[in-house]
Copies of this chain bind each other. A is one copy, B any other.
């Protein structure tokens, strides 16, 4: 399950770091407590929509841009999860088939000649 607040926190943190600003500066400008904004960046608290708007304003980045970055990060995680699921399914199918059910990639197959 891809958790929105975790990736939102990562995007907000990387935006702030790119601007070379401290948590304290953004917290003062957004009028959000230091502890709260730090929990949001670490994905431990959900940000209300009003708070999210304040943080975006303090970072001087449009909310649409933040959401677009989060959407890209979520898409990457979704792809990684889908790939992992496929690998697990393939491995499960192989173990269900058992060891004597034919050649598998990497097996040496005897030539018929």
Contacts and interface: CB of A to CB of B under 8 A. Distances in A.
Contact of A67 (B3, B50, B70): B70
Interface of A: 1-6, 46, 48-50, 52-53, 62-65, 67-68, 70-72, 74-75, 78
A71 B74 contact: no
Please indicate which of the listed interface residues A6, A62, A63, A74 has the most CB atoms of chain B within 10 Å of its own CB.
A63
A4 B26 CA distance: 20
The 3 A-B residue pairs with the shortest CB-CB distance, nearest first, are A64-B75, A67-B71, A4-B49
Contacts of A1: 50, 53
Contacts of A63: 2, 4, 74, 78
A49 B43 CA distance: 10
